[in-house]
Structure 1
Amino acid sequence: MILDLIASRNYAEETEVRAMPMVLRIERVDPPSRTALLEAAAASAVAVCLDPRADVGGEWHEPVRAWVAGRIRKVARRARGAQWEAVQALPGVTITVNGASVRSLLPVLVTETPREVAKLQISGSDLPVDEPGEVPEGARLLYVNPRVEMSAGKLAAQVGHASMLLAPRLSETELKAWAALDYRCAVRTPSAAEWDSLVHSADVVAVRDAGFTEVEPGTTTVLAV
């Protein structure tokens, strides 16, 4: 049911704004690498949607259904120390990749964002660009637009969109194999020429941003292979 809604993207006119809060763990001492944090974000976002609790009859189904039926907005915030520990008690899924952790929370009305989340900072989530290693076996590739500058927080939301939009394109067997790897993703930035070749391929899912922050409306930000 949730995958069908994601696949259709024929949302009705929204009367209430809903969003998925994404909490990025960025400690002051020993912060995570940018790539690992983005990969954790991509995995945790789709993990919420494919969690058994989001199935019909599950306790998460209605909040996820209502959110997916509209625009799949996400708001990434940073947390450290006690702030990070506090959000672990909220409904959601935490994924850790190479020491980088992100907790994607159950979507809520923006006006009802939990206090523990609302007080977290949206800005200041950027991290230096790093050189990722080899693509792990079984990981789903997500390519970032090399011509568009985005903060780590903005990109966390974008790769989360990409992993979600990719899921309905996979077979049941592929989804089970992906779930067994905690929805492992590999976030990479191709050359401009590689991007131009990929963006016109029929074998990719494109994320086109609504343009609320950082980029122009309609910008293609991420491609999922």
Structure 2
Amino acid sequence: MSVLAPLAARYAEWLGLPAEETALPEASPEQVQAMPVILHMEKSAPPARTPLLEAAATAALAVCLDERAEPGGEWHEAVHAWVSGHIRKVSRRARGLHWRVAQEFPGVTVTVGGAEARALVPGRVVDVPKEIARLQIQGSDLPPDEPPPAPDDLPVLLLNPEVAMTVGKASAQVGHGTMILASLLSEEELASWRERGYACAVRTPSVALWKQLHPGDDPEGAWRSRRVVAVRDAGFTEVEPGTVTVLAQFR
């Protein structure tokens, strides 16, 4: 069973999968867990926004589906504990020496179009190494870019066109999207995606397309007919609780 099975049980209860609770209690502050996502953002040569988000989305999923996260693997206990709770991510920016130091901690680095992001193995926030904790969370933003149309054969993560998010916030949300999407796929579909290195496209759709794809009150129908799932934010930062930040579509 995939380490992502708890996500499918919570976010797609219509599948009839076993889940003790679909609404999880809030953890005590000292037990809050999160996945650090490190964005490589050199001041002199910052990356483009879209490829950086795509790298972050792929990296978060790659950690979860790495062989080291499988039962018996060195990451399994940490990843399983995190996925079984709230899948929080904390995005931080790094440059120069700090980026190189981040490579020394367990995780996966992904490069897309020259942009780099590294997702680390999740754990308790209070246990984040000082080398990672010192990296800035605020100020991680980039100007909008104009990517080409998304390839038809890649899963696509659509950012809410009516909600402003910094690149740090958006990187966490698209990471949620790839994880939830992967949790619902068949073994064959997941294997096919794995062969492509879990590559994905991140785009901002028109308001009309967003409304057309939005699951609304029928998440099961949206998945079965359009292969779309929604990422609904808890509202800890930047957006109101319950805001749908991303629509993830498997194509």
Q: Could you say whether these structures have the same fold, taking a TM-score greater than 0.5 normalized by the shorter chain as the test?
A: yes
| Alignment counterpart, residue 192 of structure 1, candidates 179, 182, 207 | 207
Identical aligned residues as a percent:
57
The higher radius of gyration belongs to: 2
**Does the Cα contact within 8 Å between 2:24 and 2:86 map onto a contact in 1?**
no
Q: CA deviation at 1:121?
A: 0.3
**Does the Cα contact within 8 Å between 2:154 and 2:199 map onto a contact in 1?**
yes
Map 1:138-177 → 2, pairs under 5 A: 138-177=153-192
**Does the Cα contact within 8 Å between 1:138 and 1:178 map onto a contact in 2?**
no
Q: CA deviation at 1:137?
A: 5.8
Moved more, 173-182 or 92-101: 173-182
Map 1:35-184 → 2, pairs under 5 A: 35-136=50-151, 138-184=153-199
Structure 1 partner of 2:4: 3
SS in 1 for 2:73: coil
In the aligned structure 1, how far is the partner of 2:38 from the partner of 2:120?
8
1:218 is the counterpart of 2:219? no
Aligned residues: 225
Structure 2 partner of 1:20: 35
Q: CA deviation at 1:162?
A: 0.2
Q: CA deviation at 1:11?
A: 6.1
5+ long unaligned stretches in structure 2: 11-21, 216-221
Normalized against structure 2, the TM-score is what?
Answer: 0.87
In the aligned structure 1, how far is the partner of 2:170 from the partner of 2:61?
15
SS in 2 for 1:183: coil
**Does the Cα contact within 8 Å between 1:54 and 1:64 map onto a contact in 2?**
yes
5+ long unaligned stretches in structure 1: none
CA RMSD of superposed structures (Å): 1.2
Structure 2 partner of 1:207: 231
In the aligned structure 2, how far is the partner of 1:11 from the partner of 1:47?
26
Moved more, 59-68 or 170-179: 170-179
Structure 1 partner of 2:19: none
Letter in 2 for 1:218: G
In the aligned structure 2, how far is the partner of 1:11 from the partner of 1:177?
31
Moved more, 54-63 or 199-208: 199-208
